A = this chain, B = another copy of it.
Amino acid sequence: MSAPLPRYQAVKNHIMDQIAAGQLSAGDRVPSENELTRTFEVSRMTANRALRELMGEGFIVRHAGLGTFVAEGRVRGEAIAVTSIAREVEARGETWSASVLAAGEMRASAKLAEAFKLDVGAPLFHVTIVHSGDGVPIELEDRAVNPEAVPEMLSQDFNHVTTTDYLLKAAPLLRADHSVKAVLPTVAEAKLLGISAQEPCLAIERKSWTGDRVASIARLLYPGHRYELKTRFENK
């Protein structure tokens, strides 16, 4: 059972829900701290914290003496989205397919135990999959999954559904950290991706959370000549 939601978070969620649902649009006035104090029966400090964090996250802007308003545009830049490789492949007009090289249980190494906040040796699910577009490999996925967060992980047929699609459903994504690097593949990796070992690859490491639990840690490797990451940033 999860802990009760902190009050400042409930206030944040309420305002964000209103923005997301279109009840509050860019430029609209957001309730003041004192109004939130009354509405939510919290202290002004709690309301201030909720609003301050939303401001830090780019959703709202605040002016002393004036008030608090929904920010223009979407201030929070679109981070690297967690999208399904199948979707990306199809968006290129290619047909996605997958080859599951490994799918089973493993024991958490010290590093993974630390990353998952589990004990060393704790059971994890592990999958290794090559994703292709029109039969040409485009992504080598190596992923460890927390069984506590996603108990039915290994029951899925990842030749037909991507891990990402399944995880997005089974373990609602709260947050993800990404690290992007340019690397050379190992000989084994190069072979699996059907490229030379001298081909630069984009390596994305992703750690995703569901609730307050690390759900999955993945390393995604893309041939440099086959993959490009695009993102957009917007400022208020």
Contact = CB atoms under 8 A, between A and B. Distances in A.
- Size bracket, chain A contacts: 35 or more
A181 B81 contact: no
A65 to B, nearest CB: 13
State the number of copies, please. Answer: 2
Contacts of A179: 73, 228-230
Interface string A179-214: 111111000000000000010111100000000000
Contacts of A76: 78-79, 234
Interface string A2-40: 000000000001001000100000000000000000000
B232 A176 contact: yes
The residue in A175, A203, A231, A234 that gathers the most chain B C-beta atoms within 10 A of its C-beta is A231
Nearest to A234: B175
B229 A175 contact: no
Given A77-B78, A232-B79, A233-B79, A202 B178 contact: no
Contacts of A120: none
Contacts of A231: 79-80, 177-178, 180, 231
A13 B227 CA distance: 36
A174 B13 CA distance: 27
B233 A81 contact: yes
A56 B222 CA distance: 29
A175 B224 contact: no
Contacts of A56: 53, 56
Interface of A: 13, 16, 20, 53, 56-57, 73, 75-82, 172-184, 198, 200-203, 222, 224, 227-236
